[in-house]
Chains A and B, each alone.
Chain A
Amino acid sequence: MANSSKSKSAAQKPAPQPSALERLGSRFTTILIGIAVILVVLEFILHRHGEYAFEDFPMFPAIYGFVAFLFIVQVGKWLRLVIMRSEEYYDD
Chain B
Amino acid sequence: MTSMFLNITAWPPGLVMIIAAFALPFIPHLARQGWMLAAIALSAYGLTTGAGVHAVWEVLGFELILYRADKLTLPFAIVFHIAAALNVFYSWHDRKWNEHMASLSYAGAAIAAIHAGDLVTLFIWWEATAVTSVFLILAGGTSQSQPAAMRYLLFQVTSGVLLLAGAAILAATGTGIAFDKMSFGGADDFGVWLIFIAFGIKAAFPFLNGWLQDAYPEASATGTVALSAFTTKLAIYALARGFPGTDMLIWIGAAMTALPVFFAVIENDLRRVLAFSLNNQLGFMVVAVGIGSELAINGAVAHAFVHIIYKALLFMSMGAVLHQVGTIKASALGGLYRQMPFTMVCCIIGAMSISAFPLFSGFVAKSLTMSALGDTGIVFVYMVLLFASAGVLEHSGIKIPYFAFFAHDNKFETGEAPIGMRVAMGIAAALCIGIGVYPDPLYSILPYAIDYHPYDASHVTGQLQLLIFAMLAFVFLIRMKWYPPEIPSVVLNSDWFYRRLAPRLAAPLIGGIVALSRGLSQGIKDGRDNVINALENLMHNPITGPTVPGKAVMLQALLLSVILVLAYVVGA
Give the docked Cα–Cα distance between A87 and B490 (Å). Answer: 5
User: Given the complex, which residues of B lie within 8 Å of A2, measured CB to CB?
Assistant: none
**Cβ–Cβ contact A68 & B470, under 8 A:** yes
Give the docked Cα–Cα distance between A60 and B383 (Å). Answer: 12
Closest residue of B by beta carbon distance from A76: B265
User: Given the complex, which residues of A lie within 8 Å of B371, measured CB to CB?
Assistant: 51
User: Given the complex, which residues of A lie within 8 Å of B387, measured CB to CB?
Assistant: 64, 68
Give the docked Cα–Cα distance between A48 and B464 (Å). Answer: 12
Give the docked Cα–Cα distance between A28 and B398 (Å). Answer: 13
Does any Cβ of A come within 8 Å of B489's Cβ? yes
Does any Cβ of A come within 8 Å of B458's Cβ? yes
Give the docked Cα–Cα distance between A64 and B385 (Å). Answer: 12
User: Given the complex, which residues of A lie within 8 Å of B266, measured CB to CB?
Assistant: 76-77, 79-80, 84
Closest residue of A by beta carbon distance from B370: A51
Give the docked Cα–Cα distance between A50 and B375 (Å). Answer: 12
Give the number of residue pairs across the A-B interface with Cβ within 8 Å. Answer: 147
User: Given the complex, which residues of B lie within 8 Å of A33, measured CB to CB?
Assistant: 472
Does any Cβ of B come within 8 Å of A10's Cβ? no
- A-contacting residues, B7-66, CB 8 Å: none
Give the docked Cα–Cα distance between A67 and B386 (Å). Answer: 12
Closest residue of B by beta carbon distance from A78: B262
Give the docked Cα–Cα distance between A36 and B558 (Å). Answer: 111
User: Given the complex, which residues of A lie within 8 Å of B478, measured CB to CB?
Assistant: 25
Chain B nearest CB from A66 CB (Å) reads 4
**Cβ–Cβ contact A68 & B462, under 8 A:** no
**Cβ–Cβ contact A62 & B473, under 8 A:** no
- B-contacting residues, A45-79, CB 8 Å: 46-52, 55, 59-70, 72-73, 75-77, 79
Does any Cβ of B come within 8 Å of A3's Cβ? no
User: Given the complex, which residues of B lie within 8 Å of A66, measured CB to CB?
Assistant: 469-470, 472-473
**Cβ–Cβ contact B265 & A48, under 8 A:** no
**Cβ–Cβ contact B466 & A48, under 8 A:** no
Does any Cβ of B come within 8 Å of A20's Cβ? yes
Chain B nearest CB from A2 CB (Å) reads 16
User: Given the complex, which residues of B lie within 8 Å of A67, measured CB to CB?
Assistant: 473
Closest residue of A by beta carbon distance from B467: A65
**Cβ–Cβ contact A39 & B468, under 8 A:** yes
**Cβ–Cβ contact A32 & B261, under 8 A:** no
**Contact among B391, B463, B479 with A68 in the assembled complex (CB-CB below 8 Å):** B391
User: Given the complex, which residues of A lie within 8 Å of B475, measured CB to CB?
Assistant: 28-29, 32
- A-contacting residues, B477-519, CB 8 Å: 477-479, 482-484, 487-493, 499-500
Report whether over half of chain A's contact residues are helix, strand or loop; otherwise say mixed: helix
Does any Cβ of A come within 8 Å of B342's Cβ? no
Give the docked Cα–Cα distance between A46 and B462 (Å). Answer: 11
**Cβ–Cβ contact A39 & B461, under 8 A:** yes
Does any Cβ of A come within 8 Å of B409's Cβ? yes
Closest residue of B by beta carbon distance from A20: B409
Give the docked Cα–Cα distance between A4 and B475 (Å). Answer: 19
**Cβ–Cβ contact B492 & A83, under 8 A:** yes
**Cβ–Cβ contact A89 & B490, under 8 A:** yes
User: Given the complex, which residues of B lie within 8 Å of A49, measured CB to CB?
Assistant: 458
**Contact among B373, B469, B483, B492 with A51 in the assembled complex (CB-CB below 8 Å):** B373
**Cβ–Cβ contact A59 & B472, under 8 A:** no
Does any Cβ of A come within 8 Å of B188's Cβ? no
Give the docked Cα–Cα distance between A10 and B379 (Å). Answer: 48
Give the docked Cα–Cα distance between A89 and B408 (Å). Answer: 27
Does any Cβ of A come within 8 Å of B533's Cβ? no
**Cβ–Cβ contact A85 & B382, under 8 A:** no
Does any Cβ of A come within 8 Å of B208's Cβ? no
**Cβ–Cβ contact A65 & B469, under 8 A:** yes
Give the docked Cα–Cα distance between A59 and B144 (Å). Answer: 47
Give the docked Cα–Cα distance between A66 and B473 (Å). Answer: 5
**Cβ–Cβ contact B393 & A69, under 8 A:** yes
User: Given the complex, which residues of B lie within 8 Å of A84, measured CB to CB?
Assistant: 266, 487, 489-492
**Cβ–Cβ contact A72 & B379, under 8 A:** no
Given contacts A36-B472, A49-B458, contact A76 B499 (CB under 8 A): no
Give the docked Cα–Cα distance between A55 and B379 (Å). Answer: 11
Closest residue of A by beta carbon distance from B394: A72
User: Given the complex, which residues of A lie within 8 Å of B469, measured CB to CB?
Assistant: 36, 61-63, 65-66
Give the docked Cα–Cα distance between A32 and B475 (Å). Answer: 9
Given contacts A51-B373, A68-B387, A86-B489, contact A61 B406 (CB under 8 A): no
Give the docked Cα–Cα distance between A69 and B474 (Å). Answer: 7
User: Given the complex, which residues of B lie within 8 Å of A85, measured CB to CB?
Assistant: 489-492
Give the docked Cα–Cα distance between A85 and B479 (Å). Answer: 27
User: Given the complex, which residues of A lie within 8 Å of B394, measured CB to CB?
Assistant: 69, 72-73
**Cβ–Cβ contact A43 & B461, under 8 A:** yes
Does any Cβ of B come within 8 Å of A19's Cβ? yes
**Cβ–Cβ contact B409 & A32, under 8 A:** no
Give the docked Cα–Cα distance between A48 and B465 (Å). Answer: 11
Contact with A along B343-382 (1 / 0, CB 8 A): 0000000000000000000000000001101100001001
Given contacts A36-B469, A36-B472, A39-B465, contact A90 B490 (CB under 8 A): yes
Give the docked Cα–Cα distance between A24 and B469 (Å). Answer: 19
Selected A-B contacts with CB under 8 Å, 11 pairs: A29-B475, A29-B479, A35-B468, A39-B464, A50-B374, A52-B374, A70-B477, A85-B489, A85-B492, A87-B490, A90-B490
9 A-B pairs with the lowest CB-CB distances in the bound complex, closest first: A51-B374, A76-B265, A69-B473, A65-B466, A68-B390, A65-B470, A61-B465, A62-B469, A62-B465
Add 11 more A-B contacts to A20-B409, A46-B458 (CB < 8 A): A19-B409, A29-B479, A36-B469, A48-B458, A48-B461, A51-B370, A69-B474, A73-B265, A73-B394, A83-B491, A83-B493
